Structure 1
Amino acid sequence: MSIPSAVIVGVGAEQGLGAALCRLLATKGYHVFIAGRTLAKIDKVAASIKASGGSAEAIETDATDEAAVVRLFEHAFIARDDIAAPDFVVFNAGINRPVGFRDLTSAQFEEFWRICCFGGFLVGREAARHLAPLGRGTVIFTGASASLRGKAGYAQFAAAKAGLRMISQSMAREFGPLGLHVAHTVIDGGIDGERLRLWRPDMDTDGLLNIDAIAESYWHIHRQHPSAWTQELDLRPYKENF
């Protein structure tokens, strides 16, 4: 009997959202294809899942590299006796740091766009190519407060995240009627993960989003009945102003 599988793109540190999603899915009986740019990091995530009795494999993937994304999905959708074709795909790759608008270079702007938006397009397209013909599955894109509004010093981030949101909406309208659930999450606040803790070690973690709690919300979206699908979900800690 085959087990279900999922593709999680944009996995990094063990204390990050991507890794939390992988661990949760493994506890639900999924084989997880763990995709990220840094092999050492995703290998650690895969090893921890296997050590806990789960099923996972790490696949080094740069989400901005079209050929690499195509290879990832071709590998994930190979017919296997013990692992079913994926029914859950998450695009979680991102980059974020403030840059003053007058200091922002064209190369920096393009870097943000390639990681946060172009990568999402590539993953979304390959997911649709493989899942839409099957008439089932879920694709979730991780967004941010910047998906909805720009902020001083974050023009490059907001432009890219807003573009990703439009990709999710366009896909939802095109593929929803075919049975493919496409959703976008607005992560409105800081994530209590390794990246933010290293950048702001003095930050009050009580005002941050818990990575496991976010992962549970993604799982809820995936399990929704098709008569009541969520296209966009905003998540924020109770202390966050909005």
Structure 2
Amino acid sequence: MPRTAVIAGVGPGLGTSIAERFAEEGCSVALLARSEAYLDDLATRLRAETPGDALAVSTDLAEPSDIEAAFAEIRDALGNVDVLVNHASAASWDGLLEQSTDDFRRAMAVGPEAAFRCSQEAVSDMLDGDGGTVIFTGATTSVRGRTGSVGFSAAKFASRGLAQSMAQELGSEGVHVAHVVLDGVIRPPGGVPEDETQSYLDPDAIAERYWSLVEQSTDTMDFEVHLTNGDGTVEFL
């Protein structure tokens, strides 16, 4: 039976690669973001080019009511949720004294708070069914703060803590919770590097690792996967 997968935070980069990979496996993919036109075009393409189904759900992930309405629409159209990817983030690149309260709050709202609310919605379905998978997209700043990135670092640390707590709570219930540290710069959309001297992470290869987590047996589960290009010279996320 095909899985229903929710990608919370879809843009023209890694979010799209994840949606494509899951749809290639026959998943019914729900695409959540504010960019309604982009989501509609992507959903149309996925339905035409893959075995899976796709549903565009315009959602402001900083708004709890939007999240609740989005999951109600997903259940009506695709059924209960089997897989959730918490992929959204929002942050201005500011240090402590430059960081505005509004920007800091938005980083937390779109990051860990949205992940918390999406996880509550999805996991309730998983526990009523045969389990499932929740994947968090992390960054180097999930495990090591960086200068000039107060909001982003705080949000990523909080999301990792949420993921760890969920993994401890839900693993015995058949829900696999995983956190992926993306330690490097992801290749920009279109495959044309902005800087030819820069080493990039491949979004399609990352999406393949996400899918391997979905298929992993719950007898022995990875919690954290650390992906890097390994040259040690990139500016970390």
**Normalized against structure 1, the TM-score is what?**
0.89
| 1:55-204 → structure 2 map (5 Å cutoff) | 55-78=53-76, 85-194=80-189, 201-202=194-195, 204=197
Q: What is the SS of the residue equivalent to 1:141?
A: strand
Which digits, 9 at most, give the CA deviation of each residue in 1:14-36, with x for residues without a partner?
A: xx111111111111111111111
Q: Separation in 2 of the partners of 1:67 and 1:129? A: 17
SS at match of 2:22: helix
The aligned amino acid for 1:112 is: A
Structure 2 contact 92–151 (Cα < 8 Å) conserved: no
SS in 2 for 1:56: strand
1:95 offset after TM fit, Å?
2.4
Q: Take 1:101 and 1:203, find their aligned partners in 2: how far apart are those partners?
A: 32
C-alpha RMSD over aligned residues? 2.2
Distance 1:46 1:174, change over 3 A: same
Cα deviation code 1:67-91 (max 9, x no counterpart): 111122222233x7xx553311101
* Alignment partners' CA distance in 1, 2:101 and 2:231: 36
- 2:56 alignment partner, SS class: strand
Q: Which amino acid aligns with 2:98?
A: D
Could you tell me how far 1:46 is from its partner in structure 2?
1.0
CA distance, structure 2, for counterparts of residue 209 and residue 97 of structure 1: 22
Counterpart CA distance in 1 for 2:188 and 2:127 is 33
Q: Which residue number in structure 2 is paired with residue 235 of structure 1?
A: 227
Q: Which runs of no fewer than 5 residues in structure 2 stay unpaired?
A: none
Query: Across the two proteins, how many residue pairs are aligned to each other?
Result: 233
What is the aligned partner in structure 2 of residue 51 from structure 1?
48
Check 1:240–1:49 CA distance in 2 against 1; reply closer, same or farther (3 A cut). farther
- The ranges of structure 1 where at least 4 consecutive aligned residues each deviate by more than 4 angstroms after the TM superposition are none
Tell me which residue corresponds to 1:218: 210
Query: Is 1:35 the equivalent of 2:49?
Result: no
Amino acid of the residue matched to residue 65 of structure 2?
A
Residue 168 and residue 177 in structure 1: after superposition, are their counterparts in 2 closer, same or farther (change >3 A)? same
- Distance of 2:71 and 2:16 partners within structure 1: 19
Q: d(CA) in 2 for partners of 1:107 and 1:183?
A: 29
Residue 96 to residue 201, structure 1, CA distance change in 2 (3 Å): farther
Cα distance in 1 for partners of 2:190, 2:94 equals 18
**Residues 133-164 of structure 1: per-residue CA shift (max 9 Å, x gap):** 22410000101100001111012111110000
Q: Is the 8 A contact 2:82 2:122 kept in 1?
A: no
Rounded to whole Å, the distance in 2 between the matches of 1:53 and 1:211 is: 18
Q: Identify if the C-alpha distance between structure 1 residues 203 and 146 changes in structure 2 by more than 3 Å, giving closer, same or farther.
A: farther
- Aligned identity (percent) is 32
2:190 & 2:3 partners in 1: Cα distance?
30
Q: TM-score, normalised by structure 2?
A: 0.90
Counterpart CA distance in 1 for 2:25 and 2:107 is 33
CA contact (8 A) 1:190 1:196 kept: no
- Displacement of 1:173: 1.0
**Could you tell me how far 1:96 is from its partner in structure 2?**
4.2
Contact 1:73 1:126 (C-alpha < 8 Å) held by counterparts: yes
C-alpha distance in structure 1 between counterparts of 2:112 and 2:129, whole Å: 26
* Partner amino acid, structure 2, of 1:45: L
3-state SS in 2 of match to 1:227: coil
Q: Which moved more, 1:129-138 or 1:156-165?
A: 129-138
